[in-house]
Amino acid sequence: MRIFLDANILFSAAWTDGAVRQLLALTEAAGHELWADAYVFEEARRNLAAKTSTGLAVLNAMANRIKIGGMSTGRLQLPDSMNLPDKNQPVLAAAIHHHCDILVTGDRTHFGQFYGKTIQGVTVLSPAMLAETILC
């Protein structure tokens, strides 16, 4: 499976050697492809730079293992009942553009309404939901 990582997932995995980093390692070990794009990678890099230089080194090392595609500039045609802020639309659009099966994000505020739903072929999951899907 192709799994698209939101910036907050990249940030968490680079910030600390905790559950998210371990989840990504297990996901890779199970043979799944990890994807991001320049938009989310740059957001994670910018947020890490504001907090710690150590995290930047880890993020850069992760970049060698993750497939990073170009930014998607497409706009999404979502039903009126599915409201996604403009700043978050490029994340979902990139996951769709790169033909990912899953978008994993910890952004419950903006993506929580989509957890467990499939939008144009991409299922939106929280990290815990990804763990249940991949590891069970």
In this prediction, residue 74 carries a pLDDT of 59
Helices 19-29 and 7-15, axial angle in degrees (round to 10) = 110
| Residue that wins the pLDDT comparison between 24 and 87 | 24
Q: How many CA atoms lie within 13 A of 107 on its CB side?
A: 22
What mean pLDDT is predicted for residues 27-56? 93
CATH superfamily, domain 2-135, is 5'-nuclease (3.40.50.1010)
Residue among 118, 82, 91, 80 nearest 102 (CA): 118
Predicted pLDDT of residue 75: 63
Residue range 105-117: mean pLDDT, rounded: 96
- Residue 15 — pLDDT band, cuts 50, 70, 90? very high
pLDDT at position 73? 61
Residue 100 to residues 8, 56, 57: CA-CA distances in angstroms? 17, 25, 26
**At residue 107, does pLDDT exceed 70?**
yes
Return the structure tokens found at 57: 């080194």
pLDDT the model gives residue 72: 61
Give the mean pLDDT of the chain.
92
Which residues have C-beta within 8 Å of that of residue 4, sequence separation ≥ 6?
35, 36, 37, 91, 94, 95, 98, 100, 102, 103, 104, 122
**pLDDT the model gives residue 89:** 87
Looking at the DSSP bridge assignments, the partners of residue 92 are none
Please give the Cα distance from 55 to 33 (Å, whole number).
Answer: 22
| Domain chopping of the chain, boundaries | 2-135
